[in-house]
């Protein structure tokens, strides 16, 4: 009888161990899938905003207002004009990155889960040299001003006109 009871204890312990391992690996898999979904949203944001900037160059002297969506973990999107002095940028980490002239768009705070949180948008210009736009529930609204060879970007609604920017 005692051997049977001690055998059942080992079976219960083994069953609890198996259940624990299944729960741990299941939790890790769900977390990994969630992060992959967020990285997909970041990739979509990057693609859409890059295309919008490229398209705006052909608008002529027209202002376009565009909403963009990204995961709510990001509280702001910062843009740096790589043709202007990087010392205008107040955030030291972003300033150092902008000095390399390889990135000009920054999702903040950087989560580190996706490798595309900081990226380069070709022909992007910022009037002040650097601007951060706050997100609201994962959405930002920006105005794009096409100037032929570059596109100015700023928070919407802006009172700026294309004529003053492109001259």
Higher pLDDT residue, 1 or 146? 146
Query: Would you tell me how many other CB atoms lie within 10 Å of the CB of residue 38?
Result: 18
Predicted TM-score of the model (pTM):
0.75
Give the number of other Cβ atoms within 10 Å of residue 72's Cβ.
Answer: 13
What pLDDT, in 10s, does the model give residues 90-100?
A: 888 888 888 88
- CA torsion sign for 112, 115, 117, 118 is positive
Domain count, the chain: 1
- Cα–Cα distance measured from residue 56 to residue 42, given in angstroms and rounded to the nearest whole number: 21
Contact status, residue 91 vs residue 78, Cβ threshold 8 Å: yes
Cα angle at 145 between 140 and 149, to 5 degrees? Answer: 125
Percent of the chain scoring above 90 in pLDDT: 2
1, pLDDT greater than 60? no
Could you tell me which residue, 127 or 36, shows the higher pLDDT? 127
Please give the pLDDT value at position 151.
Answer: 87
Model confidence pLDDT, tens digit, residues 55-69: 888 766 567 777 899
pLDDT in tens, 93-126: 888 888 888 889 988 876 667 777 889 999 888 8
Domain that holds residue 133: 2-165
What is the number of other CB atoms lying within 10 angstroms of the CB of residue 17?
10
């Amino acid at each position: 009888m005692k051997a049977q009871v001690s055998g059942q204890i080992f079976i219960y312990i083994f069953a609890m161990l198996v259940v624990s391992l299944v729960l741990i690996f299941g939790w890790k898999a769900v977390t990994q899938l969630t992060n992959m979904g967020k990285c997909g949203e970041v990739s979509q944001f990057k693609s859409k905003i890059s295309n919008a900037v490229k398209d705006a160059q052909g608008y002529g002297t027209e202002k376009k207002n565009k909403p963009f969506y990204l995961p709510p973990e990001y509280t702001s999107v910062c843009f740096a004009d790589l043709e202007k002095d990087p010392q205008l940028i107040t955030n030291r980490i972003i300033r150092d990155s902008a000095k390399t002239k390889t990135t000009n768009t920054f999702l903040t705070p950087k989560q580190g889960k996706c490798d595309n949180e900081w990226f380069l948008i070709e022909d992007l210009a910022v009037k002040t040299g650097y601007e951060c736009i706050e997100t609201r529930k994962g959405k930002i609204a920006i105005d794009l001003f096409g100037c032929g060879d570059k596109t100015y970007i700023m928070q919407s609604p802006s009172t700026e006109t294309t004529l003053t920017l492109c001259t």
